[in-house]
Amino acid sequence: DTGVSQDPRHKITKRGQNVTFRCDPISEHNRLYWYRQTLGQGPEFLTYFQNEAQLEKSRLLSDRFSAERPKGSFSTLEIQRTEQGDSAMYLCASSPGQGAGEQFFGPGTRLTVL
Amino acid sequence: GNSVTQMEGPVTLSEEAFLTINCTYTATGYPSLFWYVQYPGEGLQLLLKATKADDKGSNKGFEATYRKETTSFHLEKGSVQVSDSAVYFCALRGPSGSARQLTFGSGTQLTVLP
C-alpha cells in the first residue's frame, strides 16, 4: 500500500496529557498538510510543509500544538496539555510539487480527550 | 479569504434517482476546485477536480462543471446507487502563488435507499 498512513488510528487521553501523532506521506510527495475535522464539519487547515520547511500555520494552531517534518519525510503533530476541545479527527494529506494541487488523505487519527 | 458554501444535508434518495449537490465558492483569481468523498469509517478520497473555467471533472458517473460566472461547482450523477452513500465535500485551492491548503465546505451526507 503506497498511500498516506497515520498512526495511531485512535487515541484516548486524559485532559492535560500530551499526545503525538505520526503521518507517513506518499513517498514522492514533497508537500504535507495537517487538518482537523470535527463531527459534521469539513476539514480545517492546521499547517503545511514543503519538504522539511513549515511554510504556513493556521490561527487554529495554538501554542500547544507543534508539528515537525524532519528530513522532509514523515511528520509528527504534538498537542501539549490536551483540552476537551481538542477532541477531533486529525487528518494528514500529501501532494506532489506540481499538478492541480490535489491532496491525498490518510485515514486520520481520532483523538478523544476525557 | 477563500470560502466554500455547500448544500445542507442530509440528502436521502432512492436508487437510480438523479443527484445534485450544490456548491458555491468565494475566492480571488482562478482557484482549482475539487469534490472529495468520505465513505463510512474511511478517509477522504478525491472524486473529481477541475482547474479552470468551463472544465468538467468526471469520475464514477459523477460530474461537476467549473462555472466562473456563477462561482459554482455543483456535483451531479444521473443514477445513484446504494454504494454512493457517503459524505461529499466540495473544496477549493487557491491559484498558483497563493495559499496551498484546501478550503472545504461543511459536507453533505447522502443516503441512497434500495
pLDDT of B42-99, one tens digit each?
889 999 999 999 999 999 999 999 999 999 999 999 999 999 999 999 999 987 666 6
Residues of A with CB below 8 A from B6's CB?
Answer: 42
Q: Is the Cβ–Cβ distance between A103 and A93 less than 8 Å?
A: yes
**CA-to-CA dists, residue A83 to A68, A86, B20, angstroms:** 21, 5, 39
Residue B38 C-alpha, separation from nearest chain A C-alpha, in angstroms: 10
Among candidates B32, B44, B93 on the partner chain, residue whose Cβ is nearest the Cβ of A91: B44
Residues of B with CB below 8 A from A48's CB?
Answer: 100-101
What is the Cα–Cα distance from B63 to A91, expressed in whole angstroms? 26
* Alpha helices, H only, A1-114: none
Q: Is the Cβ–Cβ distance between A81 and A16 less than 8 Å?
A: yes
Q: Does A25 have pLDDT greater than 90?
A: yes
Residue type, A95: S
Mutate to test the interface with B, among A34, A105, A109 (most CBs of B within 10 A): A105
Residue A79 C-alpha, separation from nearest chain B C-alpha, in angstroms: 21
> Using 50, 70 and 90 to split pLDDT, how confident is the model at A99?
low
Query: Counting one residue from A and one from B, how many pairs have CB atoms under 8 Å apart?
Result: 61
pLDDT of B16-40, one tens digit each?
999 999 999 999 888 999 999 999 8
Residue B34 C-alpha, separation from nearest chain A C-alpha, in angstroms: 8
- Contact call for B45 and A45, based on CB within 8 A: no
Cα–Cα–Cα angle for B44, B47, B52, rounded to 5 degrees: 120
- The length of chain B, given as a count of residues: 114
- DSSP percent split of chain B into helix, strand, coil, nearest 5: 5, 50, 45
The closest of A16, A6, A9, A7 to A86, measured between CA atoms, is: A16
Q: Does B102 have pLDDT greater than 70?
A: yes
Q: Does B2 have pLDDT greater than 70?
A: yes
- In this prediction, residue B77 carries a pLDDT of 98
- Nearest Cα residue in chain B from A47: B101
Average pLDDT over residues A28-37: 93
Q: Does A1 have pLDDT greater than 60?
A: no
Residues of B with CB below 8 A from A44's CB?
Answer: 104
Residue B95 C-alpha, separation from nearest chain A C-alpha, in angstroms: 9
- Contact call for B102 and A100, based on CB within 8 A: no
Going by the DSSP 8-state scheme, the letter that residue A84 receives in this structure is G
Cell numbers describing residue A109: 487519527
> Using 50, 70 and 90 to split pLDDT, how confident is the model at B9?
confident
